[in-house]
Amino acid sequence: MNNLRFSSLMEAPVRASGQMETHTSLTYAKITDYYACNVFTGKVIQEYLTVEAYKSLVTSVKSGVKIDRKIASQIASGMRAWAIDKGVSHYTHWFQPLTGTTAEKHDAFFSIDEGVPIENFDGDALVQQEPDASSLPSGGLRTTFEARGYTAWDPSSPAFIMDLGVGRTLCIPTAFISYTGASLDFKTPLLKSIESLNQAATAVCRYFDQRINNVHVNLGWEQEYFLVDASLARARPDIMQCGRTIIGHPPAKGQQLEDHYFGSIPDRAYAFMRELEIESYRLGIPLKTRHNEAAPAQFECAPIFEEVNVAVDHNVLLMNIMEKVAKRHGLKVLLHEKPFAGINGSGKHNNWSLQTDTGINLLKPGKTPNNNLMFLTFFINTIQAVHDYADLLRASIASAGNDYRLGAHEAPPAIVSIFIGRYLTEVLDEIESRVGNALDKQDENTLKIDLHQRIPELFKDNTDRNRTSPFAFTGNKFEFRAVGASANSASAMITLNTIVADTLTKFDARVKKYIKRGETKDGAILRALQRAISSSKNARFEGDGYSEKWVEEAAHRGLSNKKTTPHALEVYNSEKAITVFSKMGVLTPAELRARYEILLEDYIKRIQIEARVLGDLCMNNVIPAAVRYQNRLITNVRGLQELKFEERDWRVQKRILSAISTHVLEIGERVEEMIEIRKRVNKIADREARASAYSDEVKACFTQIRYHCDKLEFLVDDQYWPLPKYRELLSLT
Ligand code: ADP
Ligand code: MG
């Protein structure tokens, strides 16, 4: 059979058996022997830097103090010496533009100085570069004639050597900003949001512990992904161009038996994971867990949590090396949020917590009453922030891909609710109902004893997990589960940090006001907490977030449920969004507007590409296969008639013939209609209206077209079907 599907299917097992081996000598080495061997950190920096430069770098990483140019030059030459010793010839400023991937432009250390060839890398080259980045999105912040954008070194995320694939490159994590200083990337506002939260949280910490000078944010992400055979993927234009299947009949056996989750890992996937881990360790990404996920061919990995800026860089880097490692194994990684209809999609849980420079996790219930009040303060303020700014959090995870996943009965819904478990619910209820009375009666002590005796029970609460909540408290951290698998976590983290910073700032002001009125410190804190508990209660939900009943109840409670990206992004126009981002010093109104435009444009383009690919698949693959099979049936019926068989002997064939005709007709007409709609929608000048029309009109055509394609896949002779089927894609041998 002369078709890519079958040649791929024949190759797959052969390739699979050849690819069980890992491509590295480190398979059986101790992780600690080579961990971070490609990172400019730890002992290496001591070895390659002067004492002065070393101290300055360490201080800068710890407390964000700026590094002066002279020291930067020393660090640059240390980095160069290290890199050259490791066989590196080029360096690049590595950054994360708003396209969602990473960008790099390589330069050689090699230079010519008065006719003499030398290897050079000075402080200026380390600290700042000016890539010609005119084609990267800027949302109007930068006109093409003023294409200049700068990358600026981020000393808090260590430089690393990328040696996967061909060549070795020294990569320097950088922020990307425009000529006028506007942020054009994820890192710049992330760093600002971390600082803003640091200030707000430290101020609040001081009520409890004067020794706290700094609060940093931790992130532990859990990355879900699918693995499919690379050559089968290549036979699917939709996977290659959209990262997901746009059509495909569900397999007889999907995930109904629930036999994949935590099942034994298929050999081929295991070989991939081992090597991914090894490459990650070499780059200092501290991977900790690996397992199968709920869907067939779906997996997950998660690292030990890290400071959020480094954690985000590590996640972006991981997504990058996943693709490279997969290639070596003849596999393709799918990071799309919904690669297969009817089968669980992929997310990226973001585990978020706050930690003081004295080593205390502010979201961990403490052992002393004072620590517990501190815990409750941060816990309740986070809930309040999520309640008050639910729409912003929803927008922070909006993307064309995530729209297919959110609310698909296997992923958190687009309604941002908070799960905290039974014991904490009781604690909050108790504060809410009793604090006011107790305080009025000057009876703070009774109350405190009650509360604090109960809190140790929280530790038992860790098992009380609710997987259906988009924002859940899990013992010592909050877990934001609605983040898409392919997303840059920075987007969600920027928003979360900013809204919590704002809420803590307001809380601080309120406590000060109560104290001024004559309340004791603890009394003022409790009263402010009571107020926060009452006003944020609406967003707390302990039940099944996937149920229809919750959708109704949420509507009743007045919680928003924005199912599409264009709709979810509208909040960026609101006064509230503009104010919080600019007040917290994270994004100026112009930067926020630019982000909004870029996200809308990204959405439009993705749906546009999907619509085109769907049209192509229908006209070039589906209809031709159906027609070919129809011809075979016609020949068969004619033959039977010639041989004077009875009508009933070709009844089934005729039924299939007419069903095929119906579906072909539907597909043909619907595709034509979709093309007409697209042409009309493309002419809509206003970007917001165009994005909405892409969602409401163009994307709305997909379901019908797909329905008829999938029916044909079911009817047409397997031998004629040109596209690898779900059952083939989803079974890794
Ligand atoms: P789950 O049971 O949800 O799969 P785990 O408890 O194994 O998850 O943790 C998942 C992620 O949460 C890991 O990346 C882990 O490092 C991270 N994590 C654990 N504690 C914290 C914390 N205090 N702050 C942030 N992330 C954390
Ligand atoms: Mg988790």
Report if residue 7 sits inside a domain. Answer: no
Give the pLDDT confidence of 183-225 residue by residue, as tens digits.
989 999 999 999 999 999 999 999 999 999 999 999 999 999 9
| Residue 121 binned pLDDT confidence (cut-offs 50, 70, 90) | confident
**Separation between Cα atoms, residue 572 and residue 578, nearest integer Å:** 7
Q: Which two tokens stand for residue 224?
A: 């879900």
Total domains in the chain come to 3
Asked whether residue 607 falls in the same domain as residue 594, the answer is no
Report if residue 362 sits inside a domain. Answer: yes
**Separation between Cα atoms, residue 443 and residue 447, nearest integer Å:** 7
| Residue 433 binned pLDDT confidence (cut-offs 50, 70, 90) | confident
Position with higher pLDDT, 59 vs 304: 304
Determine the pLDDT at residue 1.
44
| Residue 445 binned pLDDT confidence (cut-offs 50, 70, 90) | low
Ligand nearest to the CA of 477: 1
Asked whether residue 565 falls in the same domain as residue 416, the answer is yes
What CATH number has the domain bearing residue 556? 3.30.590.10
Q: Does residue 5 have a pLDDT over 80? A: yes
Q: Percentage of the chain surpassing pLDDT 90?
A: 68
As a whole number of angstroms, the longest Cα–Cα distance in the chain is: 104
Asked whether residue 591 falls in the same domain as residue 606, the answer is no
Q: Whose CA is closest to atom 17 on ligand 1?
A: 220
Asked whether residue 486 falls in the same domain as residue 509, the answer is yes
Domain endpoint, select from 601, 620, 650: 601
Is 70 buried (19+), middle (13-18) or exposed (0-12) by CB count in 10 A?
exposed
* Ligand 1: nearest atom to the Cα of 364: 23
The secondary structure of 23-37 as a DSSP string is SSTTTTS-HHHHTTT
Q: Whose CA is closest to atom 8 on ligand 1?
A: 222
Ligand 1: list residues with CB < 6 Å: 218, 220, 222, 289, 302-305, 351, 353, 361, 476-477
Give φ, ψ of 497 to 5 degrees: -60, -45
Q: Whose CA is closest to atom 4 on ligand 1?
A: 222
Report if residue 136 sits inside a domain. Answer: yes
Cα 463 to ligand 1 centre (Å): 13
Asked whether residue 468 falls in the same domain as residue 588, the answer is yes
Q: What amino acid is encoded at 579 in this protein?
A: T
Asked whether residue 170 falls in the same domain as residue 210, the answer is no
**Separation between Cα atoms, residue 639 and residue 634, nearest integer Å:** 8
664 contacts: CB under 8 Å, gap ≥ 6? 623, 626, 627, 712
Q: Whose CA is closest to atom 26 on ligand 1?
A: 220
Determine the pLDDT at residue 479.
96
Ligand nearest to the CA of 291: 1
Name the residue range of residue 142's domain. 35-185
* Strand-pair partners of 516: none
Determine the pLDDT at residue 258.
63
Q: Which two tokens stand for residue 367?
A: 């052992």
**Helix, strand and coil in the chain, % to nearest 5:** 55, 15, 30
**Separation between Cα atoms, residue 193 and residue 378, nearest integer Å:** 17
Report if residue 15 sits inside a domain. Answer: no
Give the pLDDT confidence of 245-272 residue by residue, as tens digits.
999 998 877 666 666 666 678 888 999 9
**Separation between Cα atoms, residue 213 and residue 489, nearest integer Å:** 27
Residue 386 near residue 509, CB atoms below 8 Å: no
Determine the pLDDT at residue 696.
96
Report if residue 423 sits inside a domain. Answer: yes
The number of beta carbons lying within 10 Å of the beta carbon of residue 485 is 26
Q: Does residue 539 have a pLDDT over 60? A: yes
* Ligand 1: nearest atom to the Cα of 304: 16
Ligand nearest to the CA of 362: 1
Secondary structure element (H or E) that encloses residue 700, with its range: none
Asked whether residue 468 falls in the same domain as residue 337, the answer is yes
| Residue 464 binned pLDDT confidence (cut-offs 50, 70, 90) | low
Q: Which two tokens stand for residue 75?
A: 């660090």
Cα 363 to ligand 2 centre (Å): 16
**Separation between Cα atoms, residue 596 and residue 592, nearest integer Å:** 6
Position with higher pLDDT, 8 vs 233: 233
Q: Whose CA is closest to atom 14 on ligand 1?
A: 220
Give φ, ψ of 259 to 5 degrees: -100, 0
| Residue 145 binned pLDDT confidence (cut-offs 50, 70, 90) | very low
Asked whether residue 473 falls in the same domain as residue 407, the answer is yes
Q: Which two tokens stand for residue 586?
A: 């994270």
Determine the pLDDT at residue 463.
46
Q: Does residue 702 have a pLDDT over 60? A: yes
Q: What amino acid is encoded at 35 in this protein?
A: Y
* Ligand 1: nearest atom to the Cα of 353: 24
Testing ligand 1's pocket by substitution, the residue of 291, 304, 305, 318 carrying the most ligand atoms inside 8 A of its CB is: 305
Determine the pLDDT at residue 142.
57
**Separation between Cα atoms, residue 711 and residue 528, nearest integer Å:** 59
**Which one, of 125, 111, 128, 131, lies nearest residue 76 by Cα?**
125
Q: Does residue 144 have a pLDDT over 50? A: no
Cα 479 to ligand 2 centre (Å): 7
Residue 720 near residue 629, CB atoms below 8 Å: yes
Cα 507 to ligand 2 centre (Å): 29
Domain endpoint, select from 141, 162, 185: 185
Q: Whose CA is closest to atom 13 on ligand 1?
A: 220
Cα 349 to ligand 2 centre (Å): 6
- CA 384, distance to chain mean position in Å, is 23
What CATH number has the domain bearing residue 111? 3.10.20.70
Testing ligand 1's pocket by substitution, the residue of 219, 222, 352 carrying the most ligand atoms inside 8 A of its CB is: 222
Give the pLDDT confidence of 583-633 residue by residue, as tens digits.
999 999 999 999 999 999 999 999 999 999 999 999 999 999 999 999 999
Report if residue 114 sits inside a domain. Answer: yes
Listed in order, strand segments (DSSP E) in 124-194 are 128-129, 149-153, 160-162, 169-178
Give the pLDDT confidence of 479-522 residue by residue, as tens digits.
999 999 999 999 999 999 999 999 999 999 999 999 999 999 98
* Ligand 1: nearest atom to the Cα of 289: 7
Give the pLDDT confidence of 325-375 residue by residue, as tens digits.
999 999 999 999 999 998 999 999 999 999 999 999 999 987 766 668 899
Ligand nearest to the CA of 476: 1
Q: Does residue 459 have a pLDDT over 60? A: no
Q: What amino acid is encoded at 471 in this protein?
A: F
Q: Does residue 2 have a pLDDT over 60? A: no
Q: Which two tokens stand for residue 290?
A: 């690996």
Determine the pLDDT at residue 673.
98
Q: Does residue 535 have a pLDDT over 70? A: yes
Position with higher pLDDT, 58 vs 280: 280
Asked whether residue 596 falls in the same domain as residue 615, the answer is no
Poorest-confidence range of 64-68, 79-83, 217-221, 681-685? 64-68
Q: Which two tokens stand for residue 25?
A: 């000598």
Q: Does residue 17 have a pLDDT over 70? A: no
Residue 281 near residue 301, CB atoms below 8 Å: no
Residue 318 near residue 280, CB atoms below 8 Å: yes
What CATH number has the domain bearing residue 614? 1.20.120.1560
Using alpha carbons, list the distances in angstroms from residue 554 to 390, 544, 550, 558: 13, 12, 6, 6
Report if residue 10 sits inside a domain. Answer: no
**Separation between Cα atoms, residue 475 and residue 86, nearest integer Å:** 43
Domain endpoint, select from 576, 601, 626: 601
Ligand nearest to the CA of 293: 1
Determine the pLDDT at residue 186.
95
Asked whether residue 78 falls in the same domain as residue 54, the answer is yes
> Average per-residue pLDDT in the chain?
89
Asked whether residue 282 falls in the same domain as residue 174, the answer is no
**Separation between Cα atoms, residue 68 and residue 59, nearest integer Å:** 12
Report if residue 679 sits inside a domain. Answer: yes
**For the chain, how big is the Rg over CA atoms in Å?**
28
Position with higher pLDDT, 507 vs 131: 507
Q: Does residue 85 have a pLDDT over 50? A: yes
Q: Which two tokens stand for residue 733?
A: 């041998």
Report strand pairing: 471-473 vs 418-419.
parallel
Specify the pTM.
0.94
**Which one, of 139, 319, 154, lies nearest residue 224 by Cα?**
319
Cα 388 to ligand 1 centre (Å): 25
| Residue 540 binned pLDDT confidence (cut-offs 50, 70, 90) | very high
**Which one, of 29, 123, 129, 143, lies nearest residue 69 by Cα?**
123
Asked whether residue 677 falls in the same domain as residue 534, the answer is no
Determine the pLDDT at residue 169.
94
